Amino acid sequence: MYRDACVMGRDSNKTCSGRQIELMSAQIPNTETIAKILLDEANLAFCETAERKDEKGKRTLDGSGWDDGKMDGEYDEVDYQNILEWQLKAAMVCDTHPELEATTAELFQKVNADNAEEILKQIMEDENILELAKGAVIVFMLRFPTVQSFVNKGHPLVLAADEYMLENSNAQNWKDYQHIAYENRWI
């Protein structure tokens, strides 16, 4: 399940590229939850793109909507460049495929236990939706490398009102993102 570059340590943590990644025993998210997370994150890329300082056709790494003071403590400095690169990729997809904002919102509303497998297959086959979702999950894991960092920073998911996001007593939300990232070999 984990990349060969990762080495299991004595304390049940993994060290990947010099970074400590917390391993948690977790309930594996169901297909509906995975599809909802991927669609929600792909759709949120359009909001983040709208908040950028640059404009369509003139995108740069410096155009990120993140401002250092406002996001203080939200990421490790060593990961900031990677975060900016993923945000830039997402903005470019949003610019060239604006129809995906409506598509991801519609699919999110339609996904349920009965059709989740089919919708997840659609997500995985659409390179642009997948690029948006993948980038968001990677950025999430860069910002919150441990479950404690996720809970401590007051991430909106911890405060979410959506039923599928409310399993916070054991930080299941973070574990869902971690599962998606590892299962797809994105980190």
What would the pLDDT profile of 133-179 be if each residue is shown by its tens digit?
Answer: 999 999 989 888 887 777 666 555 554 544 444 444 447 788 999 99
- Give the structural domain span for 89: 7-183
Please report whether residue 91 resides in a domain: yes
Please report whether residue 158 resides in a domain: yes
Please report whether residue 2 resides in a domain: no
Give the Cα separation of 155 and 169 in Å (integer).
14
Q: What is the CA radius of gyration of the chain?
A: 16
User: Which residues, other chains included, contact 168 with Cβ-Cβ below 8 Å and sequence gap of 6+?
Assistant: 151, 157, 158
Please report whether residue 133 resides in a domain: yes
Could you tell me which residues are beta bridge partners of residue 8? 14
Other beta carbons within 10 angstroms of residue 34's beta carbon come to: 23
Please report whether residue 12 resides in a domain: yes
Element at 21 (helix H, strand E): strand 19-22
Please report whether residue 18 resides in a domain: yes
Please report whether residue 1 resides in a domain: no
For position 87, what pLDDT does the model report? 95
Does the predicted TM-score (pTM) go above 0.85?
no
Q: What is the pLDDT of residues 48-86, one digit of tens each?
A: 999 999 999 999 999 998 765 555 556 667 788 898 999
Residue scoring higher pLDDT (79 or 98): 98
Q: Tell me how many domains the chain contains.
A: 1
Q: Give the 3-state secondary structure of residue 129.
A: helix
Give the Cα separation of 142 and 30 in Å (integer).
23
Proportion of the chain above pLDDT 90, given as a percent: 53
